[in-house]
Amino acid sequence: MSGGAWLPLLVLASSLVTGLVIFALPETSQRLRSSLNLAGALIKLGLVSVMLWGVYLGQQYEARYTLMPGIDFLLRADALAMLLVTLSAALWLFTTIYAIGYLEGSPHRSRFFGFFSLCVTATMGLALAGNLFTFFLFYELLTLSTYPLVVHRGSTQALRAGKLYLGYTLSGGAVLLVGIIWLHGLAGNVEFVHGGALADLDPALHGELIIIFILLIAGLGVKAALVPLHGWLPVAMVAPAPVSALLHAVAVVKAGAFGIVRVVYEVYGIEFAADLDLLLPLAVVASITILYGSLRALTQNDLKKRLAYSTVSQVSYIVLGTSLFGPIGTIGGLVHLVHQGIMKITLFFCAGNLAETLHIHRVSEMNGVGRRMPWTMTAFTIAAFGMIGVPPMAGFISKWYLGLGALNSGMDWVLLVLVASTLLNAAYFLPILHAAWFKPQQGPWPEERARGRLETSAWLLLPPLVTAALTLAVGLFAALAISPLEWARIITLREYVR
Amino acid sequence: MSPVLNWVAALDWIPWLLGVPLVFALLAFQFGARLAERLVVPVFGLGLLAATGLALQVLREGPQQHALGGWGAPLGIELYADGLTALMLLMTAAIGLAVVFYSRAYFRDDGRATGFWPLTGFLIGAMNALYLSADLFNLYVTLELLGLAAVGLVALSSGSAALAAALRYLLAALLGSLLYLLGVALVYGAHGTLALAQLTGLLQPGPLAWLVIALMTLGLAIKTALFPLYFWLPPAHGGAPAPVSALLSALVIKASFYLLLRLWFELFAPAINLPAAQFIGLLGAGAILWGSWLALQQRELKMLVAYSTVAQVGYLFLLFPLASFAPGAEAAWNGGVYHALSHAFAKAAMFLVAGAMVFAAGHGEISRLGGIGQQLPLGIFTFALASVSLMGLPPSGGFVAKWLLLEAALASGQWWWILVMMLGGLLSAAYLFRVLRQAFLPTPEDASFRRPPAMLVGSAFLLSLVALGLGLWANGTLTLLRVGAPFAGVTP
């Protein structure tokens, strides 16, 4: 193993070891646990920064281990991997800070933070996976490590959500596995390569390749919450707020979307996928999901449920961008992978703050909350505007590139989808903002809990403010070399120029 | 390689594998449990060393032969060990050692220990002998000895239910070996020899061959508890003391399966036809679906685990149809054996930890196990790790097995088995999560827990780690398995 092999392994170990040590800690050693958590997250962020810089300079990081004859466990840090790795590492830090404040005084924290770290390890692993086999290992590990987080509260509702979650994700995993093994039988050990690896196969196999594509996308679509496979996502929002934040921003739904990106660009190759006529159906499914999610979000009174349906809709922007043939659409999809994460995590942090501080769970209870919690609602507002796509926020950049990409690839109808979705986004976010800022408070808050001198605990307030600032920053400074947009350009360049 | 390994690989381990457990059994029988408890760890440690040594030899030099007392076949007893033998012996030795540590704590100051130690010695000795035997009659003798020792272990628990279970088990075991013996007699009548090596290729398609195959397969299927002949297994495995359940579910049924495997791919191979293999596979599929369904209905923890064995046995029998086409045959063979191995470790861990959970809670009712996660965190973690392997999720031995079996099914175009395996995996998740979800429930008001000895959870945890490790070191394991295997080198 060369020197470049250690970095990806260390990136995984920084959260895996943290998690395992935390499992062994007694419930009462709170300070040690928090320090370990933060130390692990900071070390990971440091390692990832080094790796990011290296990849930017064209360095190779690869760890390979032969697991079965003909099947390798392969970690490789390429530009696409770094997109999700960096996002997860950064958001893990913020979510950890948030979770420490959020869970203060509640039971089973060792268990919670242990699985939380495992969950991040799984996300990192599937981002760094260099072939479908390795991707699948971490994909299933993610399922198993998020289940305890979803059912964490132990209520009947939480357990029911956990059951549904497992039912969906394990079924999806089984379908995905069959697709992967089938492909393995046809093409051998398929590694992720720029431009895809399957174009040179015998044309007689194209029929089988189409079926495999459908299996792979269906398996991944469960986690990416493509309609009609999205049923678990709105139910799983019974989980504690930091879990929802992580699930909706980087972990589970992103795993599905990221897998779809990998399959389309680096297994099949975008040109080959276009030759097989696979892109149009994918675009249609993504469009339906975008519209359906937004429509359902309109009618939800439960704030977290509204956000969950909004996730269903927003994650499919990534899939939509993937299915638009041409570099600009690709950039739109890839950059949204990051943008959606930052915006959605902000929204869930804020929803958690409202619930923890004032016990507000419903949109109808939010009248006048802007005056009681101005900072939280400012962060919420920025993220919501970002989701709608108001310039110069993150979401605007995504939609701009998606729209241009649609025109370039000759799918003009996608523009209509984008416009309709934007209107719907506005229709379900603006009433919330209006109620919070402009309506007078009606009666006392459901249950107020004082948390220090600020509007809520500093642990809870800081993370959404930072991520909201990021939402602005990635839009304002999109032209800088370190922005997600530039990074998406680098990846796209490598995908199309073979 | 290091000098120690060279030394280990240079000795002749086969006699040790046979003799040591039997001598231990006699000593334990003669001098009682006190002495047995003192002797058992070095004895079983030596067993693991011997199995490792033999595995190294097989890996380096290829299949090993040993004529007992210098008398070769056909007059004397000739023993044979290839990669499959070595793996089975290693599995037996490793699980045996873990069960020994567990039982020393479990049977402390318990009258049942008097019977447990000698019977366990006989059980392990009989299994080792079975794996090493290379002729049909010796195989019969070892099979019978194994069955009797196993029945004795089930009868250890007092009470009429245990006795009824043991009796039922005895009848099934005797019926199974009787059918097998009939087959042996027919083969001997026709060919005049019982040595497997001399019989290879002699059995030609025809009524006699089919009768032999039917009798022997039926007999061994009863002993392996293949659907629908599993009736004896749940009460015997679910009702026995936990370490006994672990030995039976993990190891004993694997012995008869191993024998069936040998017969099908060596003795029966020329006379087997496609419908026969498909039919066996169909029974396997029935086991997977029906066993899982019954496991879902159970209220008792140990009964759930026992029905899970009924279901998991089904995967073993998918090997036969999957290996009947050249593309995918090797993957099927590897996958089936790998399933036997990883199921052994996972199921032993699960039964042992179930015993610890029952000890801690004072009962085995699944719905009242809420809060067990706080009482036995490592215990529930062990159960979870074992479950991962049984569900066939990565990284675990069960996953490698499932991957190989699915690969075989896809390569040979038998998509119907794919559906069975997918459904089976989901069903296993459904029944295993019935237990795992208890870890997240609050402790019931009336519950009282006591702390089990650390060794109960500890030894189970180690076994579950091996089940996990089988998924990470599959390459080495499969290399060993390839030594002397029927399909090695046939397909790339």
How many domains is chain B built from?
1
Cα-based distances in Å from A398 to A60, A292, B61, B227: 29, 19, 63, 57
Q: Which residues form the domain of B412? A: 294-492
Q: 3-state secondary structure string, chain B?
A: CCHHHHHHHHCCCHHHHHHHHHHHHHHHHHHCHHHHHHHHHHHHHHHHHHHHHHHHHHHHHCCEEEEHHHCCCCCCCEEEECHHHHHHHHHHHHHHHHHHHHHHHHCCCCCCHHHHHHHHHHHHHHHHHHHHECEHHHHHHHHHHHHHHHHHHHCCCCCHHHHHHHHHHHHHHHHHHHHHHHHHHHHHHHHCCCEHHHHCCCCCCCHHHHHHHHHHHHHHHHHHCCCCCCCCHHHHHHHCCHHHHHHHHHHHHHHHHHHHHHHHHHHCHHHCCHHHHHHHHHHHHHHHHHHHHHHHHCCEHHHHHHHHHHHHHHHHHHHHHHCCCCCCHHHHHHHHHHHHHHHHHHHHHHHHHHHHHHHHHCCCEHHHCCCHHHHCHHHHHHHHHHHHHHHCCCCCHHHHHHHHHHHHHHHCCCHHHHHHHHHHHHHHHHHHHHHHHHHHCCCCCCCCCCCCCHHHHHHHHHHHHHHHHHHHCHHHHHHHHHCCCCCCCCCC
Asked if B328 and B412 count as a contact pair (C-beta separation under 8 A), the reply is yes
Q: Is B419 on the interface with A (CB under 8 A)?
A: no
- What part of A 65-94 touches B (C-beta under 8 Å)? 66-69, 71
Q: Is A423 on the interface with B (CB under 8 A)?
A: no
What span, in angstroms and rounded, lies between the C-alpha atoms of B264 and B279? 14
**Searching chain A, which residue's CA lies closest to the CA of residue B407?**
A181
**Which ipTM value was assigned to this complex?**
0.92
Q: Is A178 on the interface with B (CB under 8 A)?
A: yes
Residue B35 lies in a domain: no
Can you give the pLDDT at residue B492? Answer: 32
Can you give the pLDDT at residue B491? Answer: 36
Residue B463 lies in a domain: yes
Residue B241 lies in a domain: no
Q: Is A8 on the interface with B (CB under 8 A)?
A: no
**Searching chain A, which residue's CA lies closest to the CA of residue B440?**
A154
- What part of B 236-255 touches A (C-beta under 8 Å)? none
- What part of A 15-44 touches B (C-beta under 8 Å)? 23
Asked if A461 and A376 count as a contact pair (C-beta separation under 8 A), the reply is yes
Q: Is B406 on the interface with A (CB under 8 A)?
A: yes
- The C-alpha of A428 sits at a distance from chain B's nearest C-alpha, in angstroms, of 35
For the segment A377-381, the average pLDDT, to the nearest whole number, is 95
Burial of A440 (C-beta count, 10 Å sphere; 0-12/13-18/19+): exposed
Digit-coded pLDDT (tens) for A29-69:
888 999 999 999 999 999 999 999 998 888 889 999 998 88
Residue B48 lies in a domain: no
Residue B49 lies in a domain: no
Digit-coded pLDDT (tens) for A252-282:
999 999 999 999 999 999 989 999 999 999 9
Confidence of residue A3 (pLDDT cuts 50, 70, 90): low
Q: Do A185 and B407 touch (CB under 8 A)?
A: yes
Nearest CB partner across the interface for B394, out of A111, A137, A171: A137
Q: Do B440 and A148 touch (CB under 8 A)?
A: yes
Q: Name chain B contacts of A185, Cβ cutoff 8 Å.
A: 407, 410-411
Q: Is B371 on the interface with A (CB under 8 A)?
A: no
Can you give the pLDDT at residue A497? Answer: 64
Q: Do B429 and A166 touch (CB under 8 A)?
A: yes
Q: Is A114 on the interface with B (CB under 8 A)?
A: no
Q: Is A172 on the interface with B (CB under 8 A)?
A: no
A64 bridge partner residues: A74
Can you give the pLDDT at residue B52? Answer: 94
pLDDT one digit per residue (tens) for chain B, 492 residues: 577 777 777 788 898 999 999 999 999 999 988 888 999 999 999 999 999 999 999 999 899 988 877 776 666 788 999 999 999 999 999 999 999 999 999 998 888 888 999 999 999 999 999 999 988 999 999 999 999 999 999 998 878 888 999 999 999 999 999 999 999 999 999 998 888 888 888 888 889 999 999 999 999 999 999 999 999 999 999 989 999 999 999 999 999 999 999 999 988 888 888 899 999 999 999 999 999 999 999 999 999 999 999 999 999 999 999 998 888 899 999 999 999 999 999 999 999 999 999 999 999 999 999 888 888 999 999 999 999 999 999 989 999 999 999 999 999 999 999 999 999 999 999 999 999 999 888 888 888 899 999 999 999 999 999 999 999 999 999 999 999 888 764 433
Q: Is B441 on the interface with A (CB under 8 A)?
A: yes
Stated pTM of the model: 0.94
Q: Do B410 and A181 touch (CB under 8 A)?
A: yes
Higher per-residue confidence, A443 vs A433: A433
Q: Is B469 on the interface with A (CB under 8 A)?
A: no
Asked if A70 and A428 count as a contact pair (C-beta separation under 8 A), the reply is no
Count H helices and E strands in chain A, helices first.
20, 2
Digit-coded pLDDT (tens) for A322-355:
999 888 999 999 999 999 999 999 999 999 999 9
CA angle at residue A277 from A276 to A283, to 5 degrees? 135
Can you give the pLDDT at residue B488? Answer: 60
What span, in angstroms and rounded, lies between the C-alpha atoms of A372 and A450? 12
Residue B221 lies in a domain: no
Nearest CB partner across the interface for A178, out of B394, B418, B440: B418
Q: Name chain B contacts of A182, Cβ cutoff 8 Å.
A: 410
Contacts (Cβ under 8 Å, ≥6 apart) of B359: B106, B450, B452, B456
Query: Is the predicted pLDDT of residue A318 greater than 80, yes or no?
Result: yes
Q: Do A181 and B441 touch (CB under 8 A)?
A: no
